[in-house]
Amino acid sequence: DVLWGGGAPTYQGILDLLQPYEHPYMDDVSSWSRDPQNRWHGSIMFPMVIIYNPKLVAPEDAPKTWDDLLKPEFKGRIAHADPTKSGSAFTALTIQLAVKGGNNDQGWAWQKAFVENLDGKLLGSSSGTYKGVSDGEYAVGITYEEGALRYYRSGADLEIVYPEDGTINFPIPIAIIKNGPDPENAQKFVDFILSKDVQSRMGELNNRTVRNDVELPDFMTPNDSPVFRPYSLELLENTDAKLQRWKNLIMGK
C-alpha cells in the first residue's frame, strides 16, 4: 500500500505506479520536497556530509570542502560507497556534480579527479562509510547525515563536516501505491508520518524534518545555513546516464 524510504530518483522512475495524494499538512511542508503532482512527498530531508576520524586527522587538517578531498594526503584514505550500489552514494554524486559545475564536462572533470583519489577503493554500502572511518580503517569519508550523527552522538571516533562549497537537502519520499488493497489506511499512514507529532520526533532519531513548523535539534546545522544549496527536481534527471558515466570513470574510459 505504501512505499517509504530510498531516494527520490527511484520514485521519479515509477511515477505511473504512484497514487497522487494531498495530505492535510500541505501548507506546513516545504513545497519543493514533493512531486508537483503529489505522487510522492518528502518524509525527511537527507543531506550528505563529510566525516573524519579525529585520531587520524587533526581538526585543522580536516577537509572543509569537497575540493579538500582531492588533496594527496587523502588518496586511498577516503571511505565512499559505489553509486551503482548505494542510493546515498548516488545522492553524493549528484550533489558533487551540482556543486562542481553541473552534469557536464566541468562537473565530470572534478569527479574524475575525485575517483582518482579514491585509488580504487569503493564500499558496497554507505553504512560501511561511517563504520570504516570511526574504526580507523579510513581517515575521511562521505555519508548521509543521519548515519553520521548516529555514530557521532554515540561517542564514536568521528567528526562531521558540512562542506563549505555546498551540500543539498534531498527528500526521502513516502508514497501511496496506485490501486493498492487498502488506500484508506495508506492515506492514514502518510498523514501519520507527516504529522507534527511524528515530525517533532524525527530529530531524536537524527533525521531532519520536512515541516516548516518544527524546530531542528541543536546538534543539526540549520536549514538556512549557507552550506545548503537549493534543491530542484532537475537534480533527479538523467539517473541512468550519470551512473553509466560513473562506471566509465571507474573503468578508466
Interval 107-140: pLDDT, tens: 999 999 999 999 999 998 888 999 999 999 999 9
Residues facing 143 on adjacent strands = 49
240 burial type by CB count under 10 A (0-12 exposed, 13-18 middle, 19+ buried):
exposed
User: Could you tell me the pLDDT band of residue 98, with boundaries at 50, 70 and 90?
Assistant: very high
User: Which pLDDT tens digit goes with each residue over 5-47?
Assistant: 988 888 998 999 999 999 999 999 988 899 999 999 999 999 9
User: Which pLDDT tens digit goes with each residue over 169-218?
Assistant: 999 999 999 999 999 999 999 999 999 999 999 999 999 999 999 999 99
> Is the pLDDT assigned to residue 253 strictly greater than 80?
no
> Is the pLDDT assigned to residue 237 strictly greater than 90?
no
User: Which pLDDT tens digit goes with each residue over 60-82?
Assistant: 999 999 999 999 999 999 999 99
State the Cα–Cα distance between residues 242 and 97, nearest whole angstrom.
Answer: 10
For the packed helices 127-134 and 145-153, what is the interaxial angle rounded to 10 degrees?
A: 30
Architecture of domain 2-45+171-220: 3-Layer(aba) Sandwich (3.40)
User: Which pLDDT tens digit goes with each residue over 52-62?
Assistant: 999 999 999 99
Fold: same for 2-45+171-220 and 48-167+233-250: yes
146 burial type by CB count under 10 A (0-12 exposed, 13-18 middle, 19+ buried):
buried
Put simply, whether the predicted model's pTM sits higher than 0.85 gets the answer: yes
- Which fold is adopted by the domain 48-167+233-250? D-Maltodextrin-Binding Protein; domain 2 (3.40.190)
The pLDDT, as a whole number, for residue 216 is 96
Name the pairing type of β-strands 170-177 and 2-4: antiparallel
Q: What ranges do the domains of the chain cover?
A: 2-45+171-220, 48-167+233-250
The pLDDT, as a whole number, for residue 113 is 96
Helix (H, G, I), strand (E, B) or coil at 208: strand
State the Cα–Cα distance between residues 28 and 54, nearest whole angstrom.
Answer: 39
